[in-house]
Amino acid sequence: MREAFRGQQRVDAGALVARLEAVSRFLGLVDGHLPDKQLVAAHTLVERAGTRLALSRDHTVVALAGATGSGKSSLFNALARMELSPVGVRRPTTGVTHACVWGPLDDATRLLDWVGVLPRHRFVRESVLDGDDESTLHGLILLDLPDFDSVQRSHQLEVDRLLGLVDLVVWVVDPQKYADRVIHTSYLREFHRHRDVTLVVLNQADRLPPAELPRVLADLRRLLDADGLDGVPLLATAAVDPDGIAGLREPLERAVAERQAALRRLRGDLDAVVADLTELVDAGEPAGLNDSTVAGLHRALAGAAGVAAVAEAVEAAYRHRGAAATGWPLVRGWRRLRPDPLRRLHLPGAPGDGKDPAESLVAATSVPDPTAAQRSALGLAIRSVADRAGAGLPASWPAAVTAAARSRLTDLPDALDGAIARTDLGMGSRPLWWRLVGGLQWLVTAAAVVGLGWLVLGYALRALGLPELDNPTVGVVPLPTLLLLGGLLAGLLVAALTRPALRWAARRARRRAEQRLTAAVADVGAAYVLTPVRAVLSSYAEARRALAEAARR
Ligand SMILES: Nc1nc2c(ncn2[C@@H]2O[C@H](COP(=O)(O)OP(=O)(O)OP(=O)(O)O)[C@@H](O)[C@H]2O)c(=O)[nH]1
Ligand SMILES: [Mg+2]
């Protein structure tokens, strides 16, 4: 037993702190994505470890824990060589934790405040009379705990609280109750990750016939192995006999000298926390989004935003305005009486609306609202983005991805409408060729008007018996007649020839508008659906890396 705790691997404080920081980073990354109840233990550890390491690394807090009557207080007093904690026959005796500090009390005050031992139950084990006797335990803070199997619920709560804080636990069992189920299932088994800061003593060994002791120890060892505590030091003590605790002093002295127990304890907690957290991010790198899912989203967004309707209106408006600009001047005016298709949708590019597109109010357009089918198609597309992004992720993450995909759903209609309203549909200015054809139309019309005026003038002169004009002729046709008929015919011909060109150019304008609208709608999809989803995926990936770092021992 003298080998207890010997040859254990040292825990590097810097490395431990780095691992704790990685857990802290992990918690920051998964915050809001995973249910809080799965993270309580990790949050508690990060907080507790930070405090414990900041308080005092020169002290080793050791708890004597066990069932009532096992002899915790007796061992406490025997180690302190003073009657500090009352030992009694009435069970349970110890109701509040007592502490004994080896070394100056002041240095340990903040640590004891944190552990929660009342000042009147703190004792100091250092006196000039001892000389150097106790110097080997300098830095030890020994706690005498109440019984954990107590009829008093408060004792049990106090024990559970302290077992979460102390650096090293000495489990005290006695020959009568060492096999009790509670101590094994509720306590010892829970400490299997803390084998390097756990010690078991079979107290009251003096009550056993010497021949019985090895058999009881072997039986207890078997139970401890079954608890997952193989390798944990097990020793026999007799608190009533000063020599009966020598075996216990030795591992305590070693623990105090090494100043490793606090670090080992935290490392055990950290290992347990990391093991529990691992299943939250244990599904490899996320597959991410593929092009076809994104394209599906864009299609659905375009449908819901009315891209096709607007593009159609662009084509119609192009034909409408083009015909007005290039048509036969005599009938052009009629067209202006018909409403402009783009203006009907309250979209910029409508002539004379004079609005700055960037300032258009949200939901300013009159693009028809999406139909129920378009809305449900959008819902499905968002769902399939979420499904695809969340595919293969461990529990809770798919739900987080879905929540992110839908997080800005209510703002989406206004955003789509705004994007449509702000898109430059390419209908701001009249094409040059419209103006050229329009000018030509005016020219031939002017020729017809001149011809008509000339003819009317000749007719009037004849009617009034005045000398007739000398009409030049082109071939056999008089020039005024040629101007009138030629002008009219040319106007009709130009209008007829322009029509197919207008139709072709209108289709081109529609395609261009459609491209710009689709791009605008895709930007909305990126900002409102894909970016939140990708943020969750990158949190997942970073959380995985943080946890891998936290797992590195
Ligand atoms: N023979 C013998 N008696 C012991 C030994 N240790 C403790 N006792 C006795 O066992 C009884 C209980 O001891 P305590 O030290 O009060 O036990 P405890 O574990 O502190 O009990 P609670 O405070 O109720 O949890 C007392 O009567 C002690 O004198 C021992 O090693 N040998
Ligand atoms: Mg006691």
53: confidence class by pLDDT, cuts 50, 70, 90: very high
Query: pTM of the full predicted structure?
Result: 0.81
Interval between CA 2 and ligand 2 midpoint (Å): 26
Whether 414 lines ligand 1, by a CB cut-off of 6 Å, is: no
- In this prediction, residues 265-292 reach a mean pLDDT of 90
Output the pLDDT for position 357: 46
> Best substitution site from 74, 203, 204 to test ligand 1's pocket, by max atoms within 8 Å of Cβ?
74
The string of pLDDT tens digits covering residues 192-229 is 989 999 999 999 999 999 999 999 999 999 999 999 99
Residue 362 Cα to ligand 2 middle (Å): 74
* 30 vs 287, residue with greater confidence: 30
Q: How far is the CA of 97 from the centre of ligand 1 (A)?
A: 16
Q: What H or E segment, with its residue span, contains residue 445?
A: helix 432-463
Is residue 347 within 8 A of residue 263, CB to CB? The reply is no
Is any atom of ligand 1 closer than 6 Å to the C-beta of 150? no
Could you tell me if 63 and 163 are in contact, meaning their C-beta atoms sit under 8 angstroms apart? yes
Residue 74 pLDDT: 96
Token pair of 544 as six digits? 């995985």
Q: Is the pLDDT of residue 479 over 70?
A: yes
Is residue 45 scored above 90 in pLDDT?
yes
- Which residue carries 């028809």 as its tokens? 368
Contact present, 521 and 12 (Cβ < 8 Å): no
Our mutation pick for probing the ligand 1 site, out of 75, 84, 87, counting the most ligand atoms within 8 A of Cβ, is 87
Segment 427-470, tens digit of pLDDT:
888 899 999 999 999 999 999 999 999 999 999 999 999 888 78
Stretch 508-536: mean pLDDT: 96
Structure tokens that stand for 328 in this block: 């036969």
Name the band, by pLDDT with cuts 50, 70 and 90, for residue 368: confident
326 CB under 6 A from ligand 1? no
SS (H, E, C) 136-180: HHCCEEEEECCCCCCCCHHHHHHHHHHHCCCCEEEEEECCCCCCC
Question: What's the pLDDT at 504?
Answer: 97
Question: What's the CA-to-centroid distance between 256 and ligand 2, angstroms?
Answer: 23
**Nearest atom, ligand 1, residue 70 CA:** 19
Kindly state if the Cβ of 90 falls inside 6 Å of ligand 1: no
Residue 6: per-residue pLDDT: 59
φ and ψ at residue 47, rounded to 5 degrees:
-65, -50
Nearest CA to ligand 1 atom 4: 204
What's residue 129's pLDDT? 54
Taking the alpha carbons of 496, 500, 503, 509 in that order, is the dihedral positive or negative?
Answer: negative
- Cβ(73) – ligand 1 distance below 6 Å: yes
Q: What is the mean pLDDT of residues 246-265?
A: 94
Mean pLDDT computed over 166-173: 97
Going from the Cα of 99 to the center of ligand 2, the distance in angstroms, rounded, reads 12
**Residue 168 confidence (pLDDT) above 90:** yes
Residue 144: which region, alpha, beta or left (left: phi > 0; alpha: psi -120 to 50)?
A: beta
Tokens of 211: 């021949």
Region 96-110 average pLDDT: 93
Distance, in Å, from the CA atom of 550 to the CA atom of 552, rounded to the nearest integer, reads: 6
* pLDDT at site 132: 59
pLDDT at position 127, please? 59
Would the CB of 71 count as within 6 Å of ligand 1?
yes
Beta pairing class for 98-101 and 140-144: antiparallel
* Distance between Cα 257 and ligand 1 center (Å): 28
DSSP secondary structure letter of residue 119: G
**Residue with CA closest to ligand 1 atom 27:** 89
pLDDT in tens, 392-405: 899 899 999 999 99
The ligand that comes nearest to the alpha carbon of residue 79 is 1
Which pLDDT does position 131 carry in this prediction?
A: 58
Residues of the chain with pLDDT > 90, as a percent, come to 74
CA 321 to CA 349: how far, in whole Å?
11
Instruction: Give yes or no for residue 377 CB within 6 A of ligand 1.
Output: no
Query: What percent of the chain has pLDDT above 70?
Result: 94
Nearest-CA residue for ligand 1 atom 8 is 71
Cβ–ligand 1 distance for 394 under 6 Å, the answer no
Torsional class of 31: left (φ above 0), alpha (ψ -120 to 50), beta (otherwise)? beta
- Give the per-residue pLDDT at 364: 62
Q: Which helix (H) or strand (E) holds 200?
A: strand 198-202
Ligand 1 atom having least distance to the Cα of 94: 23
Is the shortest distance between the CB of 462 and ligand 1 below 6 Å?
Answer: no
Helical (H) or strand (E) element with 312: helix 307-326
The reply to whether ligand 1 has any atom less than 6 angstroms from the CB of 94 is yes
Ligand with an atom nearest the CA of residue 77: 1
pLDDT band, residue 359 (cuts 50/70/90): very low
For ligand 1, whether the C-beta of 89 sits within 6 Å is: yes
Q: In angstroms, what is the span from residue 179 Cα to ligand 2's centroid?
A: 20
Residue 322 Cβ inside 6 Å of ligand 1? The answer reads no
Question: What is the Å distance from ligand 1's center to 75 Cα?
Answer: 8
Place 184 in a pLDDT band, splitting at 50, 70 and 90: very high
Predicted local distance difference test score (pLDDT) of residue 472: 85
**Three-state SS annotation for 493-528:** HHHHHHHHHHHHHHHHHHHHHHHHHHHHHHHHHHHH
pLDDT at 1: 46
Nearest atom in ligand 1 to the alpha carbon of residue 66 is: 19
- pLDDT tens readout for residues 317-353: 999 999 989 988 877 777 777 888 888 888 765 444 4
Ligand 1 atom with the smallest distance to the CA of 147 is: 25
Q: What number does the ligand 1 atom closest to the CA of 86 have?
A: 16
